[in-house]
Amino acid sequence: MLGELAFYLGVILLGVFVLALVLITHVMMPRMNLELPEEARRVLDSQLARGGGGWGRWIVGLVAIVAIGSGVAGLAYRLLHLGFSQERRSARAGKVRVSGSEAAVDPGFSEQNPPSAPPADSPSEDFSASQACLPGGQMIHDSPGERLRYRLGLIATGRWTLFGSAALALIWNSVCFVLLAVVVSGWWYGQNRPILAILLVFFFAVAIWALRVFLRQVRQIAGVGPTILEINDHPLQPGGQYQLFVSQMGRMRLKSVRIELICEEESFFRQGTDVRADRHTAFTQELLREKGVRVDPMEPWQQQLSFDVPANAMHSFVATHNAIRWRLVVSGDSRPWPSFCRSFPVIVHPPLMAPPDSPR
Amino acid sequence: MRARWRIGRVPVEQLQGVEVSVLWHTDGKGDEDLSVIHFERYERSDLLRLGLAESKSLQCTLPAAPLSYRGHLMQIEWAVRVRVFLTDGRDIATEHPFLVVGRPVAAGTQPSVSEEADGDSAADSEALGLLRGLWSTSRFARPFTRGVKQ
């Protein structure tokens, strides 16, 4: 808390200092008509001292005013919450109505007007959902399916890895070819570089490895055809029974294909200055396993199945540092393409939450 | 959820304020998440006026989620937390955990929120040891009170 106060105080003082400099240099100095030495006059008249031109001084002045404003706002907010308990800060952040002295007048239960009951003009469901840390499923509800009610969205995985491996392959190969040009030009002009030429062999080995990794990832993403998953109802409820339609497109021969319902715990924690994540699969239910699947462009592999969500299943939960996520996972072991694994997040609501409207 | 609470063993003159919260928080490997569902604050003047002899009521409507959970990496704990601010600048917090469990929806019925508030899905609590609470009992309550990490 003291560090934050010092930071905002520093921002305010820096803003005041810069604003004062701007005002003194551009407003007060010309009016004072001081007898300055020639060198000082030259410095003050220079473009640098004028802030890089006509607009420069005003931009600097504006930045200083913004710094003062944000510093004052931050300092006021921190001072306003100084000495507040963790619960009081959380109640304020969550816009929970603070009561106490009024409720305390009547020591008995107030049946007609409970202290934190939702206001009469707001739906009680919204009141509950806003505090329940349930993830929003609007993207799924806006996506109607062809066979069943909703089409589930795929988590895009591996894109950043693909960009990383592409960058590594490109940069490393470029460096190798530049060094190759140096070696070849040296040989051409009679200045041989044997050590660099030997090193170049190892460099090219790494370049080929980087290129192979990149191509394998391209094949993994682009080579396997799209997977479509549709479900008859969403969000899921513990104890509910659901229909699932799965379609795998492309041209490949799968050794096996598997569909699973997975619940995963996710925790984020600070370790020193790093933020680390840990995941644990709390529940796995195999919905389908099939061997020797053949997929043709004209005839995609399609299955319709039903599954039950366990009655004692924990609902989805998303907070700042912790989460419980449910997803349907389609994984396949294929040749000659690499194996694939695709995740489709679903939301499990607690039993008392009302389902949303149909997208149709 | 309905409950009653009372502070004992501390003279009212030594109290600066009291905060009563109904909240859930996470515990486990990840950093803590906390959300206050109901919050009451009693200033010194309120406490002097009301005194500590009478137990005070607490009533709020719990949201449908999150439910209590005990997993491998994380737990979700519900509790009533009472924080007592003393005149010498110290504060003492104690909390009484309770469980919030889901009630399966029977076929063809859609329970209303008022039913939830009156029913057993909302948790009632039992005793607040240090605070000598006089809580109504329920099968979901856990009969102990614990201190809170500051």
Contacts of A239 in chain B (CB under 8 A): 104
List all residues of chain B from 121 to 150 with a beta carbon under 8 Å from chain A: 121
Model confidence at A322, pLDDT cuts 50, 70, 90, reads very high
Express each pLDDT in B106-121 by its tens digit: 544 443 333 333 334 3
User: Residue B124: pLDDT above 50?
Assistant: no
The residue type found at A39 is E
By the CB < 8 Å criterion, does B81 face chain A? yes
Lowest-confidence pick of A153-157, B7-11, B31-35, B109-113: B109-113
A58-64: long-range contacts, CB 8 A cutoff, minimum separation 24: A60/A18, A60/A22, A61/A18, A61/A19, A61/A22, A61/A23, A63/A18, A64/A14, A64/A15, A64/A16, A64/A18, A64/A19, A64/A22
As its CATH architecture, domain B2-103 has: Sandwich (2.60)
Model confidence at A190, pLDDT cuts 50, 70, 90, reads confident
By the CB < 8 Å criterion, does A318 face chain B? no
Q: What is the pLDDT of residue A144?
A: 84
Model confidence at A120, pLDDT cuts 50, 70, 90, reads very low
Of A22 and A171, the structure prediction assigns the larger pLDDT to A171
Tokens standing for A35?
A: 């007898």
Which of A116, A265, A269, A315 best probes binding to B when mutated, by most B CB atoms within 10 angstroms? A116
User: Residue A257: pLDDT above 60?
Assistant: yes
Contacts of B20 in chain A (CB under 8 A): 100
Q: What is the pLDDT of residue A296?
A: 82
Tokens standing for B150?
A: 């500051």
Q: What is the pLDDT of residue A26?
A: 73
CA distance B71 to chain A (A): 7
Average pLDDT rounded to a whole number, residues B79-84: 93
CA distance A100 to chain B (A): 4
Q: What is the pLDDT of residue B135?
A: 37
Average pLDDT rounded to a whole number, residues A193-208: 90
Average pLDDT rounded to a whole number, residues A252-265: 91
Cross-chain Cβ contact A104/B56 below 8 Å: yes
What CA–CA distance (Å, rounded) separates A191 from A185?
Answer: 8
* Unique residue bearing structure tokens 């030997």: A198
Strand A301-308 versus strand A274-295 pairing type: unpaired
What CA–CA distance (Å, rounded) separates A346 from B103?
Answer: 21
pTM value is: 0.69
Model confidence at A125, pLDDT cuts 50, 70, 90, reads very low
End-to-end CA distance of chain A: 51
